[in-house]
Amino acid sequence: MKNIFLKTIAIFLIIGCGKYVAQSQNFKTKNPYYSRTLTAPLQVSNTEWKKILSPELYQVAREGATETAFTGKYYEFDEKGTYYCAVCGNALFLSTSKFATTCGWPSFYQPVRSNSVKYRKDTSHNMVRSEVLCGRCGSHLGHIFDDGPQPTGKRFCMNSVCLDFVPNSKKQAEHLK
């Protein structure tokens, strides 16, 4: 009886792992440009991105829309880890640079690397702002303002839909203490 029970559990684990691997590989085949290790700039047309990305992500990241304030999954999110571009996988921000704001969007005071993001003048909505773009794929992430905390005084106000989050492993978390 014990042997049958163990075999049943093993079968469920194999099936479950197989489904997880299949889903993971399916995601990778849907977006062949997604990589958390490559940093070389991408040259991909919006026509191609539209085939790959969800409609919501495409609208914000590629057309410059903004998600509704206070609704994003990372606005009041407080886990330790790294935030990546949801379009291409480029590392953007560490959770250690995230801070609480009342603006309605997740905010950070500095990117992971100086070339993680790039900037463009934005004069939409009768305002003059600095738009923040992914340094790898050029997708719209949000805007930067000069009212953040030290040491930079900057507030990178980002759209949650444009971010992927990967939590620190226990080993990494111990190293950060």
pTM of the model: 0.79
162 is catalytic: no
Answer yes or no: are the C-beta atoms of 161 and 72 closer than 8 Å: yes
> Among 4-18, 27-41, 129-143, 156-170, where is mean pLDDT lowest?
4-18
Asked whether residue 3 is domain-assigned, the answer is no
Residue 62 covered by a domain = yes
Assigned domain for 40 exists: no
CB contact set of 74 (below 8 Å; sequence gap of 6+): 83, 106, 158, 160, 163, 165
At 149 the pLDDT is 96
The domain of 138 spans 46-176
Residue 10 falls inside a structural domain: no
Answer for the pair 99, 106: CB distance below 8 angstroms, yes or no.
Answer: no
Asked whether residue 165 is assigned to any structural domain, the reply reads yes
- Reply yes or no on whether the pLDDT at 171 is more than 60: no
* Cα separation values, 120 from 58, 71, 101, Å: 19, 25, 23
Catalytic residue among 88, 134, 137, 157: 157
Lowest mean pLDDT among 20-24, 54-58, 154-158: 20-24
Whichever domain contains 73, its CATH number is: 2.170.150.20
Radius of gyration, CA atoms only, the chain: 19
- Residues 38-94 pLDDT 10s: 999 999 999 999 999 999 999 999 999 999 999 999 999 999 999 999 999 999 999
- The number of folded domains in the chain is 1
> What pLDDT does 170 receive?
54
Q: Does a structural domain hold residue 35? A: no
Mean pLDDT of the chain: 85
Please tell me whether residue 16 adopts helix, strand or coil conformation.
helix
Is 58 a domain residue? yes
Q: Considering the domain boundaries, does residue 34 fall inside one?
A: no
